[in-house]
Amino acid sequence: MPDERPDDDAPRPWRILEQEPGEPMMLFRPRVDTVLHPRSGETFRRLVLETPDWVNVVARDERGRFVLVEQYRFGSGTVTLELPGGMIDLGEAHGDAARRELREETGHTGGRWTYLGSVQPNPAFHTNRCHHWLAEGCRPTEALDLDPGEDIAVRHLDEAELRAAIADGRVAHSLVLTALARVLDLRGPA
Amino acid sequence: MPDERPDDDAPRPWRILEQEPGEPMMLFRPRVDTVLHPRSGETFRRLVLETPDWVNVVARDERGRFVLVEQYRFGSGTVTLELPGGMIDLGEAHGDAARRELREETGHTGGRWTYLGSVQPNPAFHTNRCHHWLAEGCRPTEALDLDPGEDIAVRHLDEAELRAAIADGRVAHSLVLTALARVLDLRGPA
């Protein structure tokens, strides 16, 4: 790994001098850290969002169709197609959370489960990871179990339909794409 | 696209009854929307982070090596390897922002530029998109132009080294992976 900066001068963690927790904000708890630049010694204030880990599931039914959820999203202001997923509860194992979210949001259970690893949603300000799971051969066995604040429709897409939905922008959530990229070759402009 | 819910009952946008803007928080402006559930008529309060669009660049030098940036990240509390990128300035075209970020963070310029499309970083609460660019054959021609609050080292990785860095978790930022997935086949657990 050739480099303009030698390894013994590589970027290293910054010392946190002070942490100011803010009021919880539904999805996160913001925090402002006062940090020390390791080379210049200057201090800076940096925003951190303390965020619980998330999980999502590439679920395929017995016919190989991908099981997606269609819903209105408050950030983008658009209706999206996404993988089932959500926040991991306190103390819950991420594999259990994946099975729970798949069941609640789509009514699908069972199948062969494979862990696909995890990503950092955004290490610049989020503290969390998102875990990706693959469930193959799952079946609709339960009624949906949605919160009163959710309005979700289950959609089954074969691979060609899923690729079309990625190409036309209905599937555009970054964490959906990082999970799908572990199962499908997604090369080319979307 | 077979479905448990018919198309004329598909999830649709929720009416926003009220928006309460919060104080700007460095990277975002938070907003709390009071929204109307389109089926039940109940109201809910939802957090939105108004976020400027972002951009990042899959940059390869004349030898085909990927040009990455190594830096400490305040959210994850870890040193990461990422694609060069950042916030698009107000009124700036995303292609110009991509060239600017590559130059400032790595000193590389030139090459053949191809737009790779965009993703929604997180449509649940972010309002923005992240645009992905590919720059092939760029060269180190300038000094780095870092903010006082940055500490970045440029790293050049061939494809095998990049794949190893993804596998061992040093490259884990979701938006880096969505860009790379448009250039490399990333199938398999990371």
**HEC letters along B74-95:** CCCCEEEEECCEEECCCCCCHH
Q: Phi/psi class of residue A62: alpha, beta or left (left: φ > 0; alpha: ψ in -120 to 50)?
A: alpha
Q: Is the pLDDT of residue A1 over 80?
A: no
Q: Is the pLDDT of residue A122 over 60?
A: yes
Q: State how far the Cα of A13 lies from the Cα of B160, in Å rounded to an integer.
A: 26
Angle (CA) B51-A47-A90 rounded to 5° is 95
- Residues A31 and A105 grouped into a single domain: no
| Cα-based distances in Å from A2 to B31, B65, B184 | 45, 10, 22
| Domain assignment present for A82 | yes
B185 CB within 8 Å of a chain A CB: yes
| Domain assignment present for A172 | yes
Q: How far is A94 from chain B (nearest CA, A)?
A: 16
Query: In the prediction, which pLDDT does B157 show?
Result: 97
B71 CB within 8 Å of a chain A CB: yes
- Tell me whether residues A77 and B5 touch, CB distance under 8 A: no
Instruction: Give the tens place of pLDDT for each residue, A5-64.
Output: 777 778 888 888 888 888 888 889 999 999 999 989 999 999 999 999 999 999 999 999
- Tell me whether residues B177 and A152 touch, CB distance under 8 A: no
Contacts of B31 in chain A (CB under 8 A): none
Q: Are A25 and A148 in contact (CB under 8 A)?
A: no
A1-25 burial string, b = 16+ CB within 10 Å, else e?
A: eeeeeeeeeebeebeeeeeeeeeeb
Query: In the prediction, which pLDDT does B2 show?
Result: 43
Query: In the prediction, which pLDDT does B3 show?
Result: 52
Query: In the prediction, which pLDDT does B4 show?
Result: 65
Q: How far is B98 from chain A (nearest CA, A)?
A: 16
- Residues A26 and A84 grouped into a single domain: no
Pick out chain B residues at pLDDT < 70: 1-4, 190
Report the candidate in A62, A82, A61, A57 with the shortest Cα–Cα distance to residue A150.
A82
Contacts of A67 in chain B (CB under 8 A): none
**What are the tokens at A162?**
């899923």
| Domain assignment present for A66 | yes
Contacts of B153 in chain A (CB under 8 A): 3-5, 9-11
Tell me which residues of chain B, numbers 133 to 172, contact chain A at a CB-CB cutoff of 8 Å: 140, 148-149, 151-157, 161, 172
- Tell me whether residues B11 and A70 touch, CB distance under 8 A: yes
Specify the 3-state DSSP secondary structure of A177: helix
Number of domains present in the structure of chain B: 2
- Residues B15 and B107 grouped into a single domain: no
| Domain assignment present for B1 | no
* Torsion angle of C-alpha atoms A123, A129, A132, A138, degrees rounded to 10: -140
* Torsion angle of C-alpha atoms A119, A124, A126, A130, degrees rounded to 10: -10
Query: In the prediction, which pLDDT does A20 show?
Result: 84
Q: Is the dihedral of CA B134, B176, B178, B62 positive or negative?
A: positive
Q: How far is A24 from chain B (nearest CA, A)?
A: 11
Nearest by CB to B182, which of A9, A37, A190?
A: A190
Contacts of B156 in chain A (CB under 8 A): 1-3
- Tell me whether residues B148 and A13 touch, CB distance under 8 A: no
Q: Are A36 and A43 in contact (CB under 8 A)?
A: yes
- Tell me whether residues A122 and B25 touch, CB distance under 8 A: no
Query: In the prediction, which pLDDT does B8 show?
Result: 77
ipTM of the complex: 0.94
- Tell me whether residues A25 and B30 touch, CB distance under 8 A: yes
- Residues B42 and B59 grouped into a single domain: no
| Domain assignment present for B165 | yes
| Domain assignment present for A150 | yes
Query: In the prediction, which pLDDT does B1 show?
Result: 42
Query: In the prediction, which pLDDT does B188 show?
Result: 83
- Residues A62 and A140 grouped into a single domain: yes
Q: Tell me the pLDDT band of A3, cut-offs 50, 70 and 90.
A: low
Q: State how far the Cα of A138 lies from the Cα of A57, in Å rounded to an integer.
A: 11
- Residues B72 and B112 grouped into a single domain: yes
- Residues A35 and A113 grouped into a single domain: no
Contacts of B148 in chain A (CB under 8 A): 37, 40, 42, 44
Domain housing A37: 9-50
What is the interface size between A and B, counted as CB pairs within 8 Å? 247
Q: Is the pLDDT of residue A100 over 70?
A: yes
Average pLDDT over residues A69-95: 96
Query: In the prediction, which pLDDT does A23 show?
Result: 83
Q: State how far the Cα of B94 lies from the Cα of B54, in Å rounded to an integer.
A: 8
Nearest by CB to B74, which of A9, A46, A182?
A: A46
Query: In the prediction, which pLDDT does B44 show?
Result: 94
